[in-house]
Amino acid sequence: MLTLLLLLLLLVPMMAAASLYLGFDFSTQQLKVVAMDGNLNVVHQNSVQFDQELPEFRTQGGVHIHADGLTVTSPVLMWVKALDLLLDKLKRAGLDFSRVRALSGSGQQHGSVYWRRGASETLKQLDPDQNLHQLLQGSFSVSDCPVWMDSSSTQQCLDLQAAAGGPLRLAEITGSRAYERFTGNQIAKLRLTQAEQFQETERISLVSSFAASLFLGGYAAIDYSDGSGMNLLDIRTRNWSEVCLEATAPHLGRLLGAPLPSTSVLGPVSSYFVQRCGFSESCRVVAFTGDNPASLAGMRLQRGDTAVSLGTSDTLFLWIRRPRPAPEGHIFCNPVDRRAYMALLCFKNGSLTRERIRNECAGGSWEGFSAALRDTPLGNNGNIGFYFDTMEITPPAVGVHLFDSDDNKVSSLSPQVEVRALVEGQFMSRRLHAERLGYSIIPGTRVLATGGASSNKEILQVLSDVFNAPVYTIDLSNSACLGSAYRALHGLVAESGVSFLDVVKNAPEPQLVATPDPSAPEVYDQMLKRYARLEERVLQES
Ligand code: ADP
Ligand code: XUL
């Protein structure tokens, strides 16, 4: 009996090590992949950079910015060719495709792909002797796909909001007011500007479901989570909203197909991949999703957690139980738990603004910047700053606005006070807008910090104080790919009720780096109220 148990203890991890799970990410500038074994160890990573490795498509940063400065597209065949190239690289690296039990992936959110009539038949019978790029030359009715950087659909946004009963009503239905980059508004625009091509379209995919379709050899459903970035999905019923469909384009429900849970197994990988790469016939394709939902999975966010990414721009993800849509920010269906939601907030003025103040007030050194934070008190003696070097997304305001403790506008602050005013101001703004979408402190609340500035302990201390929660760091450069590999693994067992967190419980734990100062709630509860009032004033002025 004992020997049998020991044998089992040895065999289970060995069998897990023999299985592989692939996570792809079709992002703006590159296509990436992570191969992970069943013990959650990353065994291989690879990528294809669009600009450098596919120069024939002449993209910059993976996109074409059109003459109007607002329209931004990417060639769909570039994404297809990138997959050909990536699979070749994996073959050359000796990846044993027959060990892959499941694959999943993510795509930049909001971008859309238009399949030409007859493409579904083509996808079903791909000849394994040719590459995908040759086989799918004629399969797209629109060759340049609108992507998330496009901001040319303002009129369509206004029309949709009018049809839905106003911006807040639209946010209540779809999780967001109308945004130019959201897919429904892009479809409405394309229907007008490329009417002929639109007529020839038999199916519209998101970048994520387009990529899944390639692996599946047939049209893949749009998943609930990425589908929430379209201004078309009712995030509560998890079905297309009739009002939004009708306001966008005729017969749109048929063109989109029915949406599915993000944890769905869509089917086995197509015979093309079995014959061409040596995938096993039993390898499953798990629904692909958006890159932000996939990152939430990669960071293993849990109920009560907030993820703060401090990169070029600052991004916040929240795990939300009950959606409370607001005029700013987005609510998406949660990609790993069918009953939950996630919120997403983007702030443009992040690290670049911190760098500017570092250069002006701390002699250009992060050490000097940190010293200023150490040497100034929580609450900054009442001084508050708003630093919107460029037009902010949340809230839509611009300029630098400084206030003393009596709410008087001032033109400057001393260098040390300015450093704290910037960092406190940024984090108060993050918390204020997170609260409007449902952030609240519950027992066990954690803030998970990633991105370049998360290496700065003093910045994280301010984050911890303002959010009144412990801050952990998590070192992930590839969270969307890793999240996709985790989701592939979870997809195989999700139907039998196993939770996502159970599947990834043995992944490396985040590290605790800061806990809130005992005086923090007293200081910031008051200050946040002042900050909200002053933000109103700034918004009116800018
Ligand atoms: P991206 O959004 O391009 O992925 P990263 O997450 O790599 O960006 O973050 C890059 C930013 O990290 C830089 O712009 C820099 O301002 C910031 N950064 C790097 N080191 C520090 C530090 N010690 N303190 C504060 N910010 C830092
Ligand atoms: C999110 C968004 C971007 C894209 C590109 O709403 O537009 O983060 O997903 O990565």
233 plus 358 within the same structural domain: no
CA of 223 to the centre of ligand 2 (A): 16
Point out the least confidently predicted range of 389-398, 424-433, 526-535: 389-398
Q: Pick from 261, 287, 313: which residue ends a domain?
A: 287
238 plus 326 within the same structural domain: no
| Assigned domain for 495 exists | no
320 plus 194 within the same structural domain: no
Q: 31-35, 315-319, 396-400: which has the highest mean pLDDT? A: 31-35
* Closest among 117, 137, 114 to 127, alpha carbons compared: 137
Q: Could you report the per-residue pLDDT of 157-192, keeping only the tens digit for each?
A: 999 999 999 999 999 999 999 999 999 999 999 999
Q: What is the mean pLDDT of the chain?
A: 95
**Protein residue with its CA nearest to atom 2 in ligand 2:** 109
Q: Could you report the per-residue pLDDT of 465-481, keeping only the tens digit for each?
A: 999 999 999 877 789 99
CA of 328 to the centre of ligand 1 (A): 25
Q: What is the pLDDT of residue 7?
A: 63
Q: Could you report the per-residue pLDDT of 69-91, keeping only the tens digit for each?
A: 999 999 999 999 999 999 999 99
261 plus 378 within the same structural domain: no
**Protein residue with its CA nearest to atom 5 in ligand 2:** 108
| Assigned domain for 502 exists | no
Q: Which ligand lies nearest the alpha carbon of 459?
A: 1
Q: Which ligand lies nearest the alpha carbon of 463?
A: 1
Q: What is the pLDDT of residue 388?
A: 95
Q: What is the pLDDT of residue 390?
A: 87
Q: Residue written as tokens 């996808």?
A: 123
Q: What's the mean pLDDT in 5-34?
A: 84
Domain that holds residue 421: 300-476+510-542
In ligand 1, which atom is closest to the CA atom of 309?
Answer: 6
CA of 424 to the centre of ligand 2 (A): 26
CA of 188 to the centre of ligand 1 (A): 37
- The dihedral region occupied by 474, where left means phi > 0, alpha psi between -120 and 50, and beta the remainder, is beta
Q: Pick from 235, 264, 287: which residue ends a domain?
A: 287
DSSP per-residue letters across 87-145: HHHHHHTT--GGGEEEEEEEE-SS-EEEEETTHHHHHHT--TTS-HHHHTTT-BS-SEE
172 plus 252 within the same structural domain: yes
The kind and range of the H/E element at 286 are: strand 284-286
493: number of Cβ within 10 Å: 14
pLDDT higher than 90, residue 14 = no
| Assigned domain for 85 exists | yes
Q: What is the pLDDT of residue 8?
A: 64
189 plus 232 within the same structural domain: yes
Report the distance separating Cα 310 and Cα 282, nearest Å. Answer: 40
CA of 148 to the centre of ligand 2 (A): 6
**Protein residue with its CA nearest to atom 19 in ligand 1:** 452
266 plus 316 within the same structural domain: no
Q: Which ligand lies nearest the alpha carbon of 107?
A: 2
| Assigned domain for 295 exists | no
CA of 152 to the centre of ligand 2 (A): 16
CA of 456 to the centre of ligand 1 (A): 9
Q: What's the mean pLDDT in 352-364?
A: 97
pLDDT higher than 80, residue 2 = no
308 plus 282 within the same structural domain: no
Report the distance separating Cα 512 and Cα 534, nearest Å. Answer: 33
Please check whether residue 45 is in contact with residue 35, taking contact to mean a CB–CB distance below 8 angstroms. yes
321 plus 421 within the same structural domain: yes
Mutate to test the pocket of ligand 1, among 28, 299, 346, 351 (most ligand atoms within 8 A of CB): 351
Q: What is the pLDDT of residue 456?
A: 96
**Protein residue with its CA nearest to atom 1 in ligand 2:** 109
- What CATH code is carried by the domain that includes residue 518? 3.30.420.40
281 plus 335 within the same structural domain: no
Residues forming a β-bridge with 284: 102, 268
When divided into structural domains, the chain yields a total of 2
CA of 352 to the centre of ligand 1 (A): 8
pLDDT higher than 90, residue 528 = yes
CA of 514 to the centre of ligand 1 (A): 19
Please check whether residue 248 is in contact with residue 160, taking contact to mean a CB–CB distance below 8 angstroms. yes
Please check whether residue 48 is in contact with residue 89, taking contact to mean a CB–CB distance below 8 angstroms. yes
Q: Pick from 264, 287, 310: which residue ends a domain?
A: 287
In ligand 2, which atom is closest to the CA atom of 291?
Answer: 9
Which residues does a 6 A CB cutoff place in the pocket of ligand 1?
Answer: 311-312, 351, 354-355, 366, 451-453, 455-456, 459
CA of 361 to the centre of ligand 1 (A): 18
Which residues does a 6 A CB cutoff place in the pocket of ligand 2?
Answer: 27-28, 108-110, 148, 181, 229, 290-292, 344
Q: Which ligand lies nearest the alpha carbon of 346?
A: 2
Q: What's the mean pLDDT in 387-414?
A: 94
CA of 355 to the centre of ligand 1 (A): 9
Instruction: State the pLDDT confidence band at 441, using cuts at 50, 70 and 90.
Output: confident
Q: What is the pLDDT of residue 444?
A: 82
| Assigned domain for 238 exists | yes
Q: What is the pLDDT of residue 119?
A: 98
| Assigned domain for 485 exists | no
Instruction: State the pLDDT confidence band at 326, using cuts at 50, 70 and 90.
Output: confident
Report the distance separating Cα 386 and Cα 423, nearest Å. Answer: 10
Rounded to whole angstroms, what are the CA distances from 431 to 145, 331, 346? Answer: 35, 16, 12
In ligand 1, which atom is closest to the CA atom of 351?
Answer: 16
- The token duo for 477 is 């450069």
CA of 111 to the centre of ligand 2 (A): 9
96 plus 179 within the same structural domain: yes
| Assigned domain for 187 exists | yes
Please check whether residue 179 is in contact with residue 346, taking contact to mean a CB–CB distance below 8 angstroms. no
Coil, strand or helix at 174: helix
In ligand 2, which atom is closest to the CA atom of 179?
Answer: 6
Given the DSSP bridges, would you call strands 233-234 and 201-206 parallel, antiparallel or unpaired?
Answer: unpaired
- The token duo for 181 is 């980059």
Report the distance separating Cα 183 and Cα 188, nearest Å. Answer: 9
> Which long-range contacts does 60-68 make (Cβ < 8 Å, 24+ apart)?
61/28, 61/29, 62/27, 62/28, 62/29, 62/30, 63/28, 63/147, 63/149, 64/144, 65/149, 68/152
In ligand 2, which atom is closest to the CA atom of 330?
Answer: 6
Q: Which ligand lies nearest the alpha carbon of 353?
A: 1
| Assigned domain for 310 exists | yes
Q: What is the pLDDT of residue 6?
A: 65
Q: Which ligand lies nearest the alpha carbon of 206?
A: 2
Q: Which ligand lies nearest the alpha carbon of 460?
A: 1
- DSSP, res 513: E
The greatest distance separating any two alpha carbons of the chain, rounded to the nearest whole angstrom, comes to 79
141 plus 263 within the same structural domain: yes
Mutate to test the pocket of ligand 2, among 230, 291, 315, 348 (most ligand atoms within 8 A of CB): 291
Q: Is 127 exposed, middle or buried (0-12, 13-18, 19+ CB in 10 A)?
A: exposed
